[in-house]
Amino acid sequence: MGRGDGRGRIVSPDGADDTGTRILHVDMDAFYAAVEVMDDPSLRGLPLIIGAPDGRSVVSSASYEARRYGVRAAMPVGQALRLCPTAKIVMPHFDRYQAVSKQVMAVFESITPMVEPLSVDEAFLDVQGVRRLWGSPGEIARLVRERVQAEVGITCSVGVAATKHVAKMASTLSKPDGLLIVAAADTLDFLAPRSVRAMWGVGPKASEALEARGIRTIGDIRDSPQEMLDRAVGPALGARIAQLARGEDARAVETERVEKSVGHEETFDVDITDREFLRAELLRLADRVAVRLRRADWECATVAIKIRFDDFTTLSRSQTLAEPTSVGQRIGEAAQNLYESIDRRDPIRLVGVRAEKLRPAGSSAFALWDDDEHWRKVEGALDDARARFGNATITRARHVGRGDGRGAVRHPKDHGVD
């Protein structure tokens, strides 16, 4: 769920210049809430919180009416209700969201074969090869919006640009139900006044480090000496954000589906309710997955988790990362976020973490994470230590001597590349 509440949206007029563009970023508007409204029109116009009514659960999504009160994804429902007391809570229906997502992706693929889904509600499209069939990129973007509305019944916002990074920023600024086109020649002017926090993949820590040095806009990044950027966020990210600030983004729309995956699971003899213990387990499993990725020289583009409850009901959730990784910390954070998105609080007998959509390490043009370089060094050092002293002797400090408080016995199950 995006953080925007729809105020201050920017859209392009009809006939806007789309010279030099080829990339569309299409993002559904408040997707979960939109599906619920589509299925129950009486909800239209109401501030909606998608989540369980239990005040300890977290918000999965919210309508724009609720977002204007400050409601955000992953916020405790109790806090969300304090911000918006009139909000209506709607239980999520993830199977329904997946079904609607398939309808949306089918619309995209009927227009261009060059579709790269990022999650259930957003995707990149490269339309360069279908211009003779459908028209200019701007015309194709309007066609996408019209067909999603007519054939699926929900609205989407579209950014059109020469690069992925700018297209994604443009779609965010145009939400909800908007279209923003950034011609190639206008890229630098478009980027200059935007906050460093608006850059796709540049996290809060990196943004704070930049702002502490007076670098608040993308234009400021462009005007800053490279040495200053490197001191603020490290040489790797410093070089990458300098490229982005200049409008340089070599990443192409990737349609190849790599089905190989690596995963680890743990089954407990005693069902677990301790959420902090389960979060720690997910991080531990993510570390094991990451070790195997690095040994095979792979990175993953998607992280998935599996949760099996005491009644043997099994839920799976997945998230496409902004950039592929083989860093356990990053995989673990994604796994923990996916776990927090599950509202059900029943005892758990099994947890699993899986790395999916594998690709050769270093195959991306560049990464955008703010602290992966540090974690790569730390985990690389751990890899060296394991090679010398064995796996059993090396673990995170938080796992040392940690029990589950219930006498649970772990039964590990590994999943290789398949």
| CATH number for 242 | 1.10.150.20
Q: Which 8-state DSSP code applies to residue 368?
A: -
Residues 276 and 222 in one domain: no
Beta strands in 40-161 (DSSP E): 48-50, 61-62, 88-90, 115-119, 122-126, 156-161
- pTM for the structure as a whole: 0.68
Task: Give catalytic residue positions.
Answer: 122
Residues 316 and 202 in one domain: no
Q: In what order do the strands lie in the sheet with 61-62?
A: 61-62, 48-50, 88-90
pLDDT tens digits along 211-228: 999 999 999 999 999 999
Q: What pLDDT was estimated at residue 375?
A: 60
| CA angle at 3 for the pair 57 and 91, rounded to the nearest 5° | 30
**Mean pLDDT value across the chain:** 86
CATH code (residue 43): 3.40.1170.60
Greater pLDDT, 233 or 104: 104
Phi-psi region at 384: left, alpha or beta (left = phi > 0; alpha = psi -120 to 50) = alpha
Tell me which residue range forms the domain holding 296.
Answer: 261-399
Number of domains in the chain: 3
Residues 215 and 313 in one domain: no
Residues 206 and 287 in one domain: no
Minimum mean pLDDT range among 129-138, 223-232, 374-383, 389-398: 389-398
For residue 121, say whether it is annotated as part of any ligand binding site: yes
For residue 27, say whether it is annotated as part of any ligand binding site: yes
256 domain residue, yes or no: no
Residues 234 and 271 in one domain: no
Beta strands in 65-209 (DSSP E): 88-90, 115-119, 122-126, 156-161, 179-181
Cβ contact 287:328 at 8 Å: yes
Residues 359 and 318 in one domain: yes
| CA angle at 285 for the pair 95 and 74, rounded to the nearest 5° | 45
